[in-house]
Amino acid sequence: MLNKPKQTLLFILNDAPYGSERSFNALRLPINLNEQDRTETKIKVFLMSDSVACALVKQVPAEV
């Protein structure tokens, strides 16, 4: 069995969860990378400033 390459990725978010899609896209990328089978990936997400609100559960963003 072949060993999968290992990688560690750190995502630093600083933007609010509402008002733009930057935080949403920044969170979608590590989720999709984690679902890939090609590499063993350790993912860390660091939320600072307004992006801390991204971690709140049961958010219901308004449709624009």
Task: Tell whether the model's pLDDT for residue 56 goes beyond 70.
Answer: yes
Are residues 3 and 39 in contact, defined by beta-carbon separation less than 8 angstroms? no
Domain spans, the chain: 6-55
Whole-number pLDDT of residue 37: 72
pLDDT tens-digit profile of 6-41? 888 899 999 888 888 888 888 888 888 888 777 788
Whole-number pLDDT of residue 5: 67
Are residues 56 and 21 in contact, defined by beta-carbon separation less than 8 angstroms? no
Rounded CA-CA distance 29/32 in Å is 5
Whole-number pLDDT of residue 47: 94
